[in-house]
Amino acid sequence: MDITADIPLPSASAVVKPKPRRKKAPSLPAVERRNWLIHTHYVRKEWQTCKTLIQEQLKETNGQCEYAVYIQAMIMRSEGWIQQSMELFQACHLLNPTNPDNLKQIARNLILLGKHKSAIECYNRASELSERDWDICHCLGLCYHFLKDYDKAEQCFIESLKLNRHTVTYNMLAKLYLETGNHDKAMDVLSKGVEFSPENTDLLTLLGLLHLRKSSFHKAFELLGQAMTFDQENYKAILAAGSMMQKHGDFDVALSKYRVAAQAVPESSSLWNNIAMCFFGKKKYVAAISCLKRANYLSPFDWKILYNLCLLHLTMQQYASAFHFGSTAISLKQDHGPLYMLLAVALTNLGQEENAEKAYEEAIRLNGSDIHTVLNYCVFLHNRSKSKQAAKLLSSLQKNMPTDKADINKEVIELNKKLTAALNVGDKIVAEKEKSEKKKKQKDKG
């Protein structure tokens, strides 16, 4: 029996024909298809991989990918190739003349090359392409500051702060005021900066140093303490706090602070200078000279270090070495009276009395109100049988002395007593010292 006879055959129309597969569209190389990957590797500082991707992208686009050229220029600038980086930024500007960021980067490279006037022109062109932002104003302020045009620099920094507040602008504006001698304005700017960013250690430290300069020790210590709280290795704050303790005679505490700072900045000449003077206060003169020699090696043109070396060698009665360091310091700082006084003391002990007298006269001319200089000169004149001249000098000093002299050293008071007795001059300094001590005792009792 044929079983297939009952099954109807499918008609031709009922057969489903397979649909033809669509051809894949050809992949056209997009100009910016690798930008996201280039950016990812750039922010990770995986620069070698980033360079490879940039070369592939530029090869595909015949050098027409703006972002790839931009990142390549940024990498080259980070590696120190400033001129080559600027040429690449200029290529970016040719690819997209309406992008102000390219002009900003060209201007930044011009600043690094020391061409500040050209950078100003470039920033002004960038501000024409877009709204004037805080970055352009801040960088213009930096350029004018370098060119010593302080008025325009101040205007740019103030405009930058009006557009958008940043701690770096507060810092630069305060430094500008300090350079021009406007300490009050600098303190106001730093106070506003600390209000805006209370955890910024640079602003806290600089404001603390200004209060320290104005003898506001309590406020200075508070600000420096805050700076060290946020950054325990802030060596500037540590040095300032240590110097305050050192000034009040807490040499061991100051040395413990300096020990922390030495781990952060072992090559700081100021640090070794302060350590040396702590040892000097503890009468460890050999250790002090060793530290000062290290400081002098690190900063050979710092006249303060040479001044301290001269003082230490005088203390150790090494007068030839004291003369050497004193004369070197004077060649660097010719308008500082106490330097001539130390040089005169060294010359006196070396038997050069005529030269010593000339040095004393120069010290008096530069700073005639300095009690140490006047007393040393009076002793020198008295020993050379010029008592009348010494008495006249001491009398004029006592007439011009301020009423509050509680900070005068005891050794200076004793020397003044002896000179007053020897020269028969009224002892105003001691009288004022005794009055101030009586007032203190009365306040303590009250």
Residues 260-303 pLDDT 10s: 888 888 898 999 999 999 999 999 999 999 999 999 999 999 99
Q: Can you tell me the mean pLDDT for 395-416?
A: 62
pLDDT of 426: 53
* Contact (Cβ atoms closer than 8 angstroms) between residue 104 and residue 137: no
Please check whether residue 136 is in contact with residue 129, taking contact to mean a CB–CB distance below 8 angstroms.
no
> What is the DSSP code (8-state) at residue 3?
G
Contact 405, 433 (CB under 8 A): yes
Report the pLDDT averaged over residues 175-195.
91
Instruction: Select from 369, 375, 433, 440 the least CA-distant residue to 401.
Output: 369
DSSP state, residue 424: T
Can you tell me the distance from the alpha carbon of 301 to that of 304, in angstroms, rounded to the nearest whole number?
Answer: 9
CA quadruple 101, 102, 107, 109: dihedral sign:
positive
Q: Compute the mean pLDDT over every residue in the chain, rounded to the nearest whole number.
A: 83
Average of pLDDT values for 358-379?
Answer: 83
Which residue did the predictor score with more confidence, 57 or 382? Answer: 57
Residue 111: pLDDT above 50?
Answer: yes
Distant-in-sequence, close-in-space partners of 381: CB < 8 Å, separation ≥ 6? 387, 389, 390, 393
For range 124-152, the mean pLDDT: 90
Using alpha carbons, select from 244, 239, 246 the residue that is nearest to residue 281: 246
Q: Is 232 exposed, middle or buried (0-12, 13-18, 19+ CB in 10 A)?
A: exposed
pLDDT band (50, 70, 90) for residue 57: confident
DSSP 6: G
pLDDT at 236: 86
pLDDT at 343 over 80: yes
> Nearest to residue 221, comparing CAs of 202, 208, 204?
208
What pLDDT does residue 418 have?
Answer: 65
> Contact at 8 Å (CB) between 122 and 110?
yes
Q: How far apart are CA 205 and CA 229, in angstroms?
A: 11
Q: Model confidence at 360, in pLDDT bands (50, 70, 90)? A: confident
Average pLDDT over residues 28-40: 75
Dihedral sign from CA coordinates of 257, 258, 262, 268 = positive
Helices (H) and strands (E) in the chain, counts: 24, 0
Weakest-pLDDT range from 191-205, 225-239, 262-276, 339-353 = 225-239
Count of residues making up the chain? 446
pTM of the model: 0.69
What is the pLDDT at residue 428?
47
Instruction: Give the type of residue at 191.
Output: S
Given a cut of 80, whether residue 127 has pLDDT beyond it is: yes
Give which of 138, 75, 152, 85 is closest to 112, Cα–Cα.
Answer: 85
Q: How far apart are CA 244 and CA 401, in angstroms?
A: 26
How far apart, in whole angstroms, are the C-alpha atoms of residue 342 and residue 347?
Answer: 9
What does the pLDDT average to over 408-437?
59
Answer yes or no: is pLDDT of 223 > 70.
Answer: yes
- pLDDT of res. 321: 93
Greater pLDDT, 246 or 410: 246
